Amino acid sequence: MAGIVSDRYSGVNRGMINPALLFHSPNCIDFSLVTAHIGGQNNYLYLPAGDFRAGDFIRFRSRILENYDNYFSERQQEELYNGFLYGRLQGPAVRFRYNKHVFAFTNALRTMSSANRVPGHMVRFARRGLAYSPQHDIIYSEPQPFQMATMGWLEAGMSYATELAGRRSYSLTTGASARLLLPYHAASARSDELDYFVTPQRNVFINRFDFEAYGALPMIYNTLEFTRTDKLIRGSGFSFDLGISYIQNSNNFRKKGRDRLYTASRDEPYNYQISFSLLDIGFVNMTQNTRYNKFEEVALVWENPQTETYNNFNDMLNEMEEGLISGEITRADGESFRMYLPTAASIQADYSLGNNFFAYFLWVQDLPVAKTRVSRPSYIGFVPRYETRWFSVSLPLTLHEYSLPRAGIAFRIGFLTIGAEQAGGILNINDIDGMDVYFSIQWGFENCRPTRKKTNPCMNYWR
């Protein structure tokens, strides 16, 4: 949500990218009623520039879902494919300041799914079926790991930010966020080595397969029926963010009392700001409705698998075990496992160009902290924006996975912010291989100090 986190007036939402930035809001109190974000990105399927029509959203089922294979184009030149789906629904949240201490309370429903380094031949077999003749009788060897994972959770957290050091010319602040996590699903499937080929008769010969899968899903595994909603939460966990920020103040910065307060007339509170943060450091322990499968140095013959006839996962595993030549296939239910969050490091820089114009730079790098984890896309971004208290417009330009460009736009009018980070694809500027849309309803108060009477009782002033 580059159009939100880059805005100084986004209040509590700015803490999503760095908790230290909570200190630098122009408001003393910020409220967020609701913030929502949904998006996705991949380097496999795309819609060529010029093919999208606004009516496609209206006729989504007939135009896209029922015409999936013909609607999207396929990038076949890629050897490895990555894909991400993510969403956030944040409920009421508040940020407030007391002297040099800033507190924030948030809650959210989040979900994220990722696929990393999935071999192209497997993706094409999955989409076109094992009868895809151009890939028959070719030995595919994948000694490097690839993984797919998904996770959804509820979170409730508190953030704190304060100033470590400061003078009229600069300010150094730090912040931290801590959250309680209640996961409702999690799954991870990772291959460490794969060597196989498929014959024209659709027989799969696996020469070596090392694979692990963990799951805690809202279903009965033997029937694939969804479980009841009273068993929604399947574990618990925690996470935290850390951040630090340095500001070089502008010449018109002035000090009031013991605090550094922004004045209502100032639109350029600093010359530049440089910040660093670590995001989503943490994990969840999945304890309910868990399943574990492991293939250890497996070699087998899987004769003409008819995947569409399987009623559940056990049917597929039973058939694979019948063709087992060597190695071991392990199954276990009820064993707890740990799933790690999409941990990342981020650098932000904001430079005041004068006359309410700013240049914001953003870098987010995914950190592979564990094997069982969901990951996020790494990207760099540049967000030029015009910003005042009641209005802002920004043009996020991002490069996802350092190779997939996006051109977006975001508006804030009063308390409402709306943005999309694939506007370039909708306007036929570039191919559409993903989409981000988001909005937020938020507002803040700049002056929170009570009035105090002077000698003339008709005149009040703000401290």
Find the domain containing 182 and state its range.
2-23+78-86+107-405
> Alpha-carbon distance 123 to 279, whole Å?
31
Under 8 Å between Cβ of 302 and 319 = yes
pTM for the full predicted model: 0.86
**What are 269-302's pLDDT values in tens digits?**
688 999 999 999 999 999 988 999 999 999 999 9
Confidence of residue 224 (pLDDT cuts 50, 70, 90): low
Phi, psi for residue 322 in degrees, rounded to 5: -65, -30
For the chain, report the end-to-end CA distance as a whole number of angstroms: 35
Q: Which two tokens stand for residue 344?
A: 């990342």
Q: Residue 429's pLDDT is what? A: 66
Distance CA 172, CA 176 (A): 14
pLDDT tens, residue by residue, 121-162: 999 898 888 889 999 999 999 999 999 999 999 999 999 999
Q: What is the Cα–Cα distance from 20 to 315, expressed in whole angstroms?
A: 52
Predicted local distance difference test score (pLDDT) of residue 62 = 64
- Residue 114 domain-assigned? yes
Question: Looking at the domain assignment, is residue 250 inside a domain?
Answer: yes
CA atoms of 211 and 300, how far apart (whole Å): 14
Number of structural domains in the chain:
1
How does the average pLDDT of the chain come out, rounded?
85
pLDDT of 257 above 60? no
Would 44 be classed as within a structural domain? no
| pLDDT at residue 411, as a whole number | 94
The CA distance from 219 to 216, in Å, is: 9
Q: What is the dihedral of CA 343, 344, 345, 348, to 10 degrees?
A: -130
Q: Does residue 428 lie within any of the structural domains?
A: no
- pLDDT bin (cut points 50, 70, 90) of residue 63 is low
Domain-located, residue 417: no
More confident residue, 206 or 75: 206
Range ranked top by mean pLDDT from 140-154, 162-176, 300-314, 403-417: 140-154
Identify whether 442 is part of a domain.
no
User: How far, in Å, CA of 236 to CA of 250, rounded?
Assistant: 45
Between CA 45 and CA 128 the distance in angstroms is 13
Specify the pLDDT at position 195.
95
pLDDT mean over 322-343: 92
The yes-or-no verdict on residue 92 having pLDDT over 70 is: yes
Above 70 in pLDDT, residue 463? Answer: no
Question: Is the separation of the CB atoms in 439 and 35 below 8 Å?
Answer: yes
CB 159 within 8 A of CB 173: no
**Residue 217 forms part of a structural domain:** yes
pLDDT of residue 47: 80
Average pLDDT over residues 162-187: 91
Tokens representing 363? 């870098």
Residue at 272 is within a domain: yes
Least confident of 201-210, 276-285, 325-334, 444-453: 444-453
What backbone phi and psi angles, to 5 degrees, belong to 162?
-155, 170
pLDDT value at residue 445: 86
Q: Does residue 402 register a pLDDT over 80?
A: yes
Write the CB contacts of 162 (distance below 8 Å, at least 6 apart in sequence).
Answer: 23, 100, 101, 102, 173, 174, 175
CB-based contact 131:152 (threshold 8 Å)? no
197 against 217, higher pLDDT: 197
Contacts of 137 (CB under 8 A, 6+ apart): 197, 198, 199, 200
DSSP code of residue 343 = -
Q: Are 40 and 72 in contact (CB under 8 A)?
A: no
Pick the closest to residue 103 from 167, 7, 178 (CA basis).
Answer: 178
Share of the chain above pLDDT 90, in %: 56
Task: Name the region of 195 (left: φ>0; alpha: ψ -120 to 50; beta: rest).
Answer: beta
Distance between CA atoms of residues 83 and 442, nearest Å: 31
Judge residue 18's burial from the number of C-beta atoms within 10 Å of its C-beta, 0-12 exposed, 13-18 middle, 19 or more buried. buried
Residue 311 has pLDDT above 50, yes or no: yes
- 3 state DSSP class of 303: coil
Say if CB 420 and CB 36 are below 8 A apart: no
The span from the CA of 355 to the CA of 328, in Å, is: 68
Residue type, 290: T
Check pLDDT > 70 for residue 101: yes
Distance of alpha carbon 299 from alpha carbon 224, whole angstroms: 28
Burial of 66 (0-12, 13-18, 19+ CB in 10 A): exposed
| 395, two tokens | 């043009």
Rg of the chain over Cα atoms, rounded to whole angstroms, equals 26
Can you give the pLDDT at residue 229? 59
Q: pLDDT-based confidence at 109, cuts 50/70/90?
A: very high
pLDDT interval class at 462 (50, 70, 90): very low
pLDDT greater than 90 at residue 91 = yes
In angstroms, the CA 431 to CA 24 distance is 37
Residue 85's DSSP bridge partners are: 40, 113
